[in-house]
Amino acid sequence: LRHDLDGRYSTELYSEYLQTLFQRLKTQENPFFVYMAFQNVHAPHMVPQHYIDRYALYISDPNQQIFAAMVSAMDEAIGNITKSLRENGLDDNTIIVFSSDNGGNVNCVRHV
């Protein structure tokens, strides 16, 4: 258990970990499998403030700002992961599957 990670957002941690992993795997000849299950956008609805700030001018409802920010954080992480695959020469022979669960509680956020 790493206590030095307290207060870090899991989406960013997972993305950073995979980027480091891909740097190590770039010279490996054997295939590998990565399963990344983001916790966004499930409760608790929490996200670093810098993601919420992006929506302050466009979305008035604070809950909707947080929801949109959580989606943005996940989108950014996926972009960083796929960029790392490309930069490490691992994207040419890679299959990426995006999937989601059955969806969130529709009563939590309206109009997103």
Q: What is the dihedral of CA 94, 100, 101, 107, to 10 degrees?
A: 170
- At residue 103, does pLDDT exceed 70? no
CA–CA distance, 85 with 94 (Å, rounded to integer):
9
CB 17 within 8 A of CB 77: no
CB 10 within 8 A of CB 39: yes
Band of pLDDT at residue 104, cut at 50, 70 and 90: low
pLDDT at position 29 is 84
**Among candidates 31, 17, 7, 10, which has minimal Cα distance to 80?**
17
pLDDT in tens, 46-72: 899 999 999 999 999 999 999 999 999
